[in-house]
């Protein structure tokens, strides 16, 4: 399949957009530019489009990259509508604005894993943990106080949702599958909840 290298040139100020697309003689392709200035000038009829070359994809991509790398090297990117400037076979050279956005994202990623202030803070070590008291069903005797229900369930071989479901139960309504008051002879009440 052939690709086309094309450019749109502003007839008033000479500003240019370089692009490529899958070539078809029947297809009236405009552009995939995300530059609002480009589209405003296009809508105002200021752009003249010309096909520069048609060839295989690798050749066309290389030609586009060469033009844009040259513009970046000569410091004339302000004469182009393009937002990114190619870097040959190594990938894309990004504008300063795009690099700044990528840096912000990279900083956010650096807070993952051990760099995250919440890393390792599970259960009661998590400042956002909802702690509960666990009681025996028949005697209402306190079995565990101020525990994370997920940790307590895991440590005692209970299903993860069993005790939390009892803590969320509406005790003014009868116990049902969706409003379970008890789980394996136990029930839980979140510490901030009232009996």
- Could you tell me the CATH number of the domain that includes residue 55? 3.40.1440
49 and 95 belong to one structural domain: yes
Q: d(Cα 180, Cα 170) in Å, to the nearest integer?
A: 8
DSSP3 helix / strand / coil % (the chain, rounded to 5): 35, 25, 40
172 and 139 belong to one structural domain: yes
39 and 94 belong to one structural domain: yes
Domain span including residue 175: 123-190
Through-space distance between the first and last CA atoms of the chain, rounded to whole angstroms: 73
pLDDT at 58: 87
Instruction: Identify which of 56, 54, 80 has the alpha carbon closest to the alpha carbon of residue 67.
Output: 80
177 and 146 belong to one structural domain: yes
Q: Which helix (H) or strand (E) is 36 found in, with range?
A: helix 36-43
Q: Which of 109, 131, 156 is the last residue of a domain?
A: 109
Residue 8 domain-assigned?
Answer: yes
Q: Which of 77, 109, 141 is the last residue of a domain?
A: 109
Residue 172 domain-assigned?
Answer: yes
Q: Per residue of the chain (195 residues), what is the pLDDT tens digit?
A: 889 999 999 999 999 999 999 988 777 888 888 899 999 999 999 999 999 999 998 888 888 888 888 888 888 889 999 888 765 444 555 566 766 776 776 666 666 677 777 777 776 677 777 899 999 999 999 999 999 898 898 899 999 889 999 998 998 888 888 888 889 999 999 987 444
82 and 141 belong to one structural domain: no
- What is the number of structural domains in the chain? 2
77 and 15 belong to one structural domain: yes
Q: Which of 40, 74, 109 is the last residue of a domain?
A: 109
135 and 89 belong to one structural domain: no
60 and 153 belong to one structural domain: no
Residue 115 domain-assigned?
Answer: no
Q: Quick one: 131 exposed, middle or buried, by C-beta within 10 A (0-12, 13-18, 19+)? A: middle
The neighbouring-strand residues paired with 16 are 9, 80
pLDDT at 10: 94
31 and 89 belong to one structural domain: yes
pLDDT at 141: 94
pLDDT at 106: 66
Residue 116 domain-assigned?
Answer: no
175 and 101 belong to one structural domain: no
96 and 163 belong to one structural domain: no
Beta carbons within 8 Å of 35's beta carbon, 6+ residues apart: 17, 81, 82, 83
- 2-10 β-sheet, strand order: 16-22, 2-10, 47-56
Q: Could you give the 3-state DSSP secondary structure of residue 156?
A: coil
Residue 104 domain-assigned?
Answer: yes
pTM: 0.45
Residue 195 domain-assigned?
Answer: no
Residue 21 domain-assigned?
Answer: yes
Would you list the DSSP string of 19-31?
A: EEEE--TT-----
Residue 114 domain-assigned?
Answer: no
Gyration radius of the chain over CA positions = 32
């Amino acid at each position: 399949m052939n690709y086309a290298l094309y450019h749109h040139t502003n007839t008033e100020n000479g500003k240019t957009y370089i692009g490529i697309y899958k070539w078809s003689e029947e297809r009236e392709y405009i552009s995939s530019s995300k530059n609002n200035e480009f589209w405003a000038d296009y809508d105002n009829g200021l752009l003249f489009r010309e096909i520069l070359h048609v060839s295989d994809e690798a050749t066309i991509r290389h030609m586009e990259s060469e033009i844009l790398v040259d513009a970046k090297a000569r410091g004339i990117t302000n004469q182009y509508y393009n937002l990114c400037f190619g870097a040959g076979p190594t990938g894309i050279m990004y504008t300063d604005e795009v690099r700044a956005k990528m840096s912000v994202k990279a900083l956010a990623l650096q807070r993952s894993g051990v760099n995250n202030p919440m890393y390792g803070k599970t259960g009661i070590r998590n400042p956002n943990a909802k702690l509960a008291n666990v009681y025996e069903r028949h005697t209402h005797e306190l079995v565990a106080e101020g525990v994370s229900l997920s940790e307590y369930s895991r440590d005692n071989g209970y299903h993860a949702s069993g005790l939390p479901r009892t803590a969320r139960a509406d005790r003014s309504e009868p116990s049902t599958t969706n409003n379970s008051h008890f789980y394996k002879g136990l029930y839980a009440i979140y510490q901030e909840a009232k009996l």
